[in-house]
Chain A
Amino acid sequence: MSNDHTQWRPQPLRFIFWILLLAGLPFDTISVSSPILGEQSVESQQGDSLIQEQVVEGLRIQLEIEPLDGATELRQGVDARVTYTIRDANSGEPLTGLHPLSWMHGREGKFPPNKEQLKDLTSKFLGGLISVPADHDLNKYYLLVLNGDRSISIIDPQISFSITKLRNLIGIPGDPVDWAIDEIHEKLLVTLPDEGQLLVIDLTRAQIEKKIEFGEGTEPVKVLIQENHEIAWVSLDGTDQLASIDLISLEEGPRIPLGKGRHVTAVDPDSNWLAATNTEDGTVTIVDLNDRSRVRTIEVGKTPLALQYAPLAARFLIACSNENRLRVVDPERAQVTRSLEIPRGVVDVSVDPTGRFAFLSSPSEGEVAILDTASKKLVDTITTALAPDRVICTSSFAYIHDTQRANIILVDLNRLASEELVVTELGIGRDSMDSTSAGRQITSLLAPTPEGNSMFVGNSADKLIYYYVEGMMASMGNFQTYKRIPRGVLVMDRSLQESGPGEYSTYVRFDRPGILDVPFLLDQPRALVGFEVEVKRDDQIPVAEVVTPVGVKFLEPEDKIRAGDQVSLRVAVIDSETGDPVDGLEDVQVMLFPLDGSFQERLAALPEGDGIYQCLGSFPEQLRFGLLVQVESRGLTFRNSPLFEIPVHPGTKK
């Protein structure tokens, strides 16, 4: 298996197809509608309307922007849900199973783009080059890796060139144990039990936004985000409480008392019920999320360690690791409705996407039992894994993670629904998945991609993230972690996904005011449509007119930098006109990369005072490195930054 220098990327064919389509075909073969052209556009309402519609090629394409703050207009600094609804223009039938592409980009002239300009703009965005990104790419997703060295990597797996896959590396001030992603608000929540903190990372800026303090000894461990993205729940194992965090204000709400022990939590998809296990008490606490004062506790057996909600059965499934029983709990009545025998030592319960089957993983017994939640019977047991600890599903397969082997086991879910067990085993990597101690971390090393037919598989022994596409007999490639041990992988999906029949949605944060041009591209039938969106200025946010350009200077470290070092990097930011140091900047970013172009890191630099900003850079190899600085709020970008070269010397022998 080659490492990261392979020239591949996920989802290439879709983009290549579009590039060929736009570049190679006569433009007349694509139906184009843009706001100014109008010839194929009817019922087009543009600009400040939150719902716009265009008809082209027999398709009725509606763009709806829903500001999440509930406002009736789109204002600067607001997150919004962006939804395209595509229907047959004649029948009104929603068109499902499409793969639309779209972007939003600040208008560069006064007028909307004409046919050719719209085509050019789209071609540029389709190229996937980092040099011409759209302001908002509605087709992106990122891979997040929780590393064993107290850091989180943000990787762009779709970029064409391997040199640019690692976008950011964020340092974590403590040992993380669990994490959860709020894709709507682009926040990553990380628990730091030893610090008594929940870390909130703003993924748009790749920097720590807030540390929520629970207090000494509170031991926040498990973090869970409600399906409706309103509240995050954090189990405080030190004080046996459940903390609630409002995801908009990021303020803590009233705590809910729990029983004694460790706590695992689960919420139903409608955000009606939350359950939390209390391992020492052998109980489960059920919280009515519509009336949080309605908290009930029921006995479920010894050491309830694994918990999941089975949506079709509308029941919580609770496995007790110190006895071979699974309890089925009706949250409405807070009653155990069924108890059945399962393998001993189950530590994880996962439910397939249909909600029908549950997978119960027991590493100690080397078994994964499959429960049919309709009949509440175990329909099969898989015994080929040595120590299965978790199952993660795509729409077609259940992936069994084995901590003692470099293999994953795939269970065909379609065949399972037809009462057939079809199991495939694949080698992913060279060494067993988790041969090094994972400590207390409870994050998953499997993360499905938004395409739905592939999986990222972290291998802590190999220190790589493998990319597996269903149907292949081996992984298609891998991502470097640069000698960091991956402890968890997650996907932050910002791409348009079908959210209902004919509805394709994602979330966008509109940081800057102004008019955005919005190309929308569809393959069947081929249609390119241009919308426009106006983002109103928020008077509370300072106007950019006061901005004066800044200059930067790299302050070289006093000691030689050696391969393998982590070094504090400091840059001075000065006002270009006055030469005075500029303080108070919140968006100073540093890009660090070896000059051979093999990778890059983007680091948020924090203020030290006197115009000095610092960040922690890693120099894993003896190469010459380059350093660029970006301060977007003051007009300095990586493209016009001066390049600072940093030599790296051989590492010291240990």
Chain B
Amino acid sequence: MILPFWLTLILGFLTGSDGPDGPHPTSAMRGGEIYLTGKTAGPEIRLLLANADLELPATSFPCSSCHGEGGKGTREGGLIPPPIRWKDLTRPATVELSGRRRSAFDGESLRRAIVDGVDPDGVKLHPGMPRYKMSSSQLLDLEAYLKILGREQVFDPGVKDDKLRLGTVLPLTGQHRRSGESVRTALMAWSQQIGPEGLYGRSIDWVIEDSESTPEGALRAFEKISEKDVFALVGCHLPTKVEGMDEILSRKKLLMIGPITTTPSPQDPPFPWIYYLFPSYYHQSRSLVEFICTETPDRIPPVALVVASDPAFDGARSGVLEQLAIFGTEPVLELVPAEGHFDPILLAQALEDSGAEAVVVLASGTQTTRLSLRLEVLDSTTKIYTLGSVLGRDAFSLPVSMGDRTYISFPSVLERDRRKSDLTWLLYLAKDTGFKIESPAVQSSALSAVKLVQEAVENCGRRLSRDLFIEKLEEIQQLRTGLTPPLSFSPSRHIGALGSHVLKVNLAENRFEPVSGWIIPRLRDHKKGN
């Protein structure tokens, strides 16, 4: 259970009841339970909805559900639950919905408001405010909590007085154990550098669970870690698809920041509990099409599409079709061979016959190389565009003549764009902890994820909470980690680096050459303006 644990972290500082065995429940702590969950020890708290003759347990509408966990008030669905921190209550205020001024509350009038639904002037509260049935001692407990609400020492899960507990799920056994171990080393180096003084007095405390390199193991790891009072999951190294992961994150309201090996699915609005560093295949394929359609001014070449039978490419295929549609066109040919029937001879011939000048290939590295070899046999001049992270090292098995005509997406930072100052923190990390990068791809992603978390936590300050963390995370713009393109987030954007570079394969020198800047695919046809 999260909340009871959370509430034990509310220190009894106001009553001075901290003993050597830790905090004991105080009136304010019990009040905190009522405020946040609608229940506490003692008789069940019930509520009456003002405009409905309906009695419900208070757990269905605890105070925090409308007034916010910090008591600052919210705006939702035409209702404007006001702030109810003690300093707000004990001042005259204007009731926003009616424009009427109300007098200041004191303890007695507050209790009347909770029980009878009237304000200090005897005027009925807005019908959105239920009337609660609770005992006198429960009312006093709630009042005691409202007096400290909004002050510092009310902590969210994973936030302790001197520690911030982060979690991660890594393959520490099984096929990917070496990769998982390298991520663990990077995460430990970062927290070692943060040191005992930590971020605003909180050092980093890691909870790490083993995914055993399998989806089933990863799911078990998520179940375990979600019970371990962590603030957020950071830099998780996961199998491609973990069924049930999203459900656990939603149920436990657990944030996941910068998962290394999973890519975002195109969702609008985005899944609320995950923030990604890099774009998905969907976004990369859109950047590739954007490049194809804008490479030659005022001319869009005929584009073909080859998609291997693999659900992993479904998103990328949608991206290609959607982006072509934005440019007012569609593929001259779309080839989707059935599983086990990826025949390069037939595919190459069909591409040549179609007159396509560009073909987007969404297939494995081997399949793409084989198709490329066949196109060379046909003396084809067609250019191949594919996903860089899928083609990988197979790029250097391409036939020489096709190398010049093969382009890949690359959704990361280019060496030429990397500022020396962006890497200063890494130099210090190496100097302070002796850390060396061994697995650049996964370790860089893990370090970028913790850098992102550090930035948001530093902007939150000592009064760290999940709500504030999300707010600050979604305010981050152009964060330069040195290891990723600049990262930006917003409530509607959970992908930090949205877009891609396009690189050309240089087989003569066995390297990739950038042929574009960072391409953010357009969302609509600028000519039509719709």
Contacts and interface: CB of A to CB of B under 8 A. Distances in A.
Interface of A: 45, 49-51, 64, 66-67, 70-73, 92, 228, 270-272, 290, 311-315, 332-333, 337-338, 354-356, 373-377, 418-420
Nearest to A92: B75
Nearest to A272: B151
Interface stretch (B96-104, B237-245, B254-262, B374-382): B96-104
A332 B94 contact: no
A628 B285 CA distance: 77
Nearest to B461: A312
B421 interface: yes
Interface residues of B, number: 37
A317 to B, nearest CB: 13
A181 B43 CA distance: 52
Interface of B: 13, 75, 86-87, 91-94, 96, 99-101, 103-104, 147, 150-153, 194-195, 197-201, 421, 424-425, 457-463, 480
B101 A67 contact: yes
A418 B200 contact: no
A270 B72 CA distance: 13
A92 B76 CA distance: 10
A45 B99 contact: yes
Nearest to A328: B201
A333 B462 contact: no
Given A50-B101, A72-B101, A314-B152, 13 more contacts: A50-B99, A51-B96, A70-B92, A70-B104, A270-B87, A270-B151, A312-B200, A313-B201, A313-B461, A313-B462, A374-B457, A419-B421, A419-B424
Contacts of A354: 459
Given A354-B459, A374-B199, A374-B200, A333 B13 contact: yes
A376 B458 contact: no
A227 to B, nearest CB: 11
Given A71-B101, A420-B421, A375 B462 contact: no
A315 B463 CA distance: 11
5 contacts: A313-B200, A314-B462, A315-B462, A374-B458, A375-B199
A375 B462 CA distance: 11
A518 to B, nearest CB: 16
B458 A356 contact: yes
A309 B51 CA distance: 47
Contacts of A333: 13
Contacts of A71: 101
A51 B462 contact: no
A332 B13 contact: yes
Given A338-B197, A419-B424, A420-B421, A355 B461 contact: yes
Contact of B94 (A45, A51, A313, A374): A51
Contacts of A51: 94, 96, 99
A337 B201 contact: yes
B18 to A, nearest CB: 10
Contact of B461 (A73, A311, A338, A377): A311
Contacts of B460: 312
A429 B454 CA distance: 42
* A contacts with B: majority SS: loop
Nearest to A271: B87
A393 B458 CA distance: 19
B458 to A, nearest CB: 4
A376 B202 CA distance: 11
Contacts of A49: 99
* B contacts with A: majority SS: loop
B152 A70 contact: no
Nearest to A64: B94
Contacts of A338: 197, 201
Nearest to B478: A418
A338 B197 CA distance: 9
Contacts of A337: 201
Nearest to B98: A51
10 residue pairs, one from A and one from B, having the closest CB atoms: A312-B461, A70-B92, A51-B99, A72-B101, A314-B462, A374-B458, A376-B197, A374-B199, A313-B200, A50-B99
Contacts of B104: 70
Contacts of B425: 419
A310 to B, nearest CB: 9
Contacts of B103: 70
A361 to B, nearest CB: 23
A335 B488 CA distance: 38
Nearest to A291: B14
A312 B462 CA distance: 6
Contacts of B101: 50, 66-67, 70-73
B124 to A, nearest CB: 16
A418 B480 contact: yes
A66 B94 contact: yes
A73 B101 CA distance: 8
A271 B50 CA distance: 36
Contact of B194 (A72, A271, A290, A375): A375
Contact of A332 (B92, B150, B152, B421): B152
A295 B443 CA distance: 50
B197 A375 contact: yes
Contacts of A355: 461
Nearest to B93: A66
A199 B197 CA distance: 45
A272 B13 CA distance: 15
Contacts of B87: 228, 270-271
Contacts of A50: 94, 99-101
Contact of B200 (A92, A228, A332, A373): A373
A503 B352 CA distance: 62
A96 to B, nearest CB: 12
Contacts of B461: 311-314, 355-356, 374
Nearest to B121: A72
Contacts of A92: 75
B200 A72 contact: no
A66 B75 CA distance: 20
A330 to B, nearest CB: 8
Contacts of A72: 100-101
Contact of A418 (B96, B153, B421): B421
Contacts of A312: 200, 458-462
**Residue in A51, A67, A338, A356 with the greatest tally of chain B CB atoms within 10 Å:** A51
A38 to B, nearest CB: 19
A44 to B, nearest CB: 13
Contacts of A332: 13, 151-153
A73 B86 CA distance: 24
Contacts of A375: 194-195, 197-199
Nearest to A355: B461
Contacts of B150: 270
A312 B200 CA distance: 8
B196 to A, nearest CB: 11
Nearest to B460: A312
Contacts of B91: 70
A169 B424 CA distance: 53
Nearest to A68: B92
B504 to A, nearest CB: 32
Given A51-B96, A70-B103, A314 B463 contact: yes
